[in-house]
Structure 1
Amino acid sequence: MDYLDFEKPIQELEEQLEKTRNLEQETQVDMGKTVKEIEKKLIATKKDIYKNLSPWQRVQLSRHPQRPYTLAYIEAITEGNFLELHGDRNVKDDKAMVGGWGMVGDQSVMFVGQQKGVNTKMRQYRNFGMANPEGYRKAMRLMKMAEKFNRPIVTLIDTPGAFPGLEAEERGQGEAIAKNLYDMSLLKVPVICIVIGEGASGGALGIGVGDKVLMLENSWYSVISPENCSTILWRTWDYKEQAAAALKLTADDMLKNKLIDGIIKEPLGGAHNDPAAMFDTVKTEILKNIEKLSKLDSEKLINQRINKFSKMGYFNE
Structure 2
Amino acid sequence: MQFLDFEKPIAELYDQLNKLKESGDKAGVDVSSAIAEFEQKIAETRTQIYSNLTSWQRVQLSRHPDRPYTLAYVDMICDSFVELHGDRNVKDDKAMVGGLADIAGETVMLIGQQKGVNTKMRQIRNFGMANPEGYRKALRLMKLAEKFNKPIVTLIDTPGAYPGLEAEERGQGEAIARNLFEMVKLKVPVICIIIGEGASGGALGIGMGDRIFMLENSWYTVISPENCSTILWRSWNFKEKAAEELKLTSEYMSSFGLVDGVIKEPLGGAHVNPEEMATILKAKIKSTIAELKDIDPETRITNRIEKFSNMGFFDEK
TM-score category by the smaller chain? Answer: over 0.9
Residue 18 of structure 1 deviates from its aligned partner by: 1.2
Residue 31 of structure 1 deviates from its aligned partner by: 2.3
- Aligned AA (1:11): A
Residue 5 of structure 1 deviates from its aligned partner by: 0.3
For the residue of structure 2 that corresponds to 1:178, the secondary structure is helix
For the residue of structure 1 that corresponds to 2:312, the secondary structure is coil
CA separation in 2, counterparts of 1:90 and 1:310? Answer: 32
Q: Which runs of 4+ in 1 moved over 4 A?
A: none
CA separation in 1, counterparts of 2:13 and 2:160? Answer: 36
Aligned to 2:261: 262
Aligned to 1:124: 123
Deviation per residue, 1:253-289 (Å, 9 max, x gap)? 0000000000011011100100000111100000000
Aligned to 1:16: 16
Aligned to 1:47: 47
CA separation in 2, counterparts of 1:168 and 1:26? Answer: 59
Aligned to 1:281: 280
CA separation in 2, counterparts of 1:181 and 1:279? Answer: 28
CA separation in 2, counterparts of 1:311 and 1:216? Answer: 23
- Aligned AA (1:171): R
For the residue of structure 2 that corresponds to 1:88, the secondary structure is coil
CA separation in 2, counterparts of 1:31 and 1:87? Answer: 56
CA separation in 1, counterparts of 2:187 and 2:285? Answer: 18
Where do residues 140-155 of structure 1 align in structure 2 (5 Å cutoff)? 140-155=139-154
Aligned length: 316
CA separation in 2, counterparts of 1:3 and 1:143? Answer: 38
* 2:38 counterpart of 1:38: yes
- Aligned AA (1:193): C
CA separation in 1, counterparts of 2:191 and 2:273? Answer: 23
Residue 34 of structure 1 deviates from its aligned partner by: 2.0
CA separation in 2, counterparts of 1:156 and 1:30? Answer: 46
CA separation in 1, counterparts of 2:105 and 2:31? Answer: 49
Aligned to 1:6: 6
For the residue of structure 2 that corresponds to 1:273, the secondary structure is coil
CA separation in 2, counterparts of 1:116 and 1:40? Answer: 34
| Higher alpha-carbon deviation: 207-216 or 18-27 | 18-27
Residue 39 of structure 1 deviates from its aligned partner by: 1.4
Where do residues 215-254 of structure 1 align in structure 2 (5 Å cutoff)? 215-254=214-253
CA separation in 2, counterparts of 1:105 and 1:71? Answer: 17
Deviation per residue, 1:91-140 (Å, 9 max, x gap)? 11111000000001111000011000000000000000000001000000
- Aligned AA (1:84): E
Aligned to 1:316: 315
For the residue of structure 2 that corresponds to 1:316, the secondary structure is coil
- Aligned AA (1:47): T
Segments of 5+ residues of structure 2 without an aligned counterpart are none
Segments of 5+ residues of structure 1 without an aligned counterpart are none
- Aligned AA (2:249): T
Deviation per residue, 1:38-95 (Å, 9 max, x gap)? 111111000000111100000000000000100111121113x100000001111111
- Aligned AA (2:15): E
Residue 316 of structure 1 deviates from its aligned partner by: 0.6
Residue 197 of structure 1 deviates from its aligned partner by: 0.4
Deviation per residue, 1:24-43 (Å, 9 max, x gap)? 11112232332222111111
Aligned to 1:302: 301
Task: State the superposition RMSD in angstroms.
Answer: 0.7
CA separation in 2, counterparts of 1:191 and 1:83? Answer: 19
TM superposition score normalised by structure 1: 0.99
For the residue of structure 1 that corresponds to 2:108, the secondary structure is strand
- Aligned AA (1:7): E
CA separation in 1, counterparts of 2:174 and 2:237? Answer: 33
- Aligned AA (2:292): L
- Aligned AA (2:120): K
Aligned to 1:191: 190
- Aligned AA (1:154): V
Aligned to 1:64: 64
Tell me the percent identity: 66
- Aligned AA (1:129): G
CA separation in 1, counterparts of 2:31 and 2:67? Answer: 33
CA separation in 2, counterparts of 1:265 and 1:39? Answer: 22
Aligned to 1:76: 76
CA separation in 2, counterparts of 1:175 and 1:292? Answer: 32
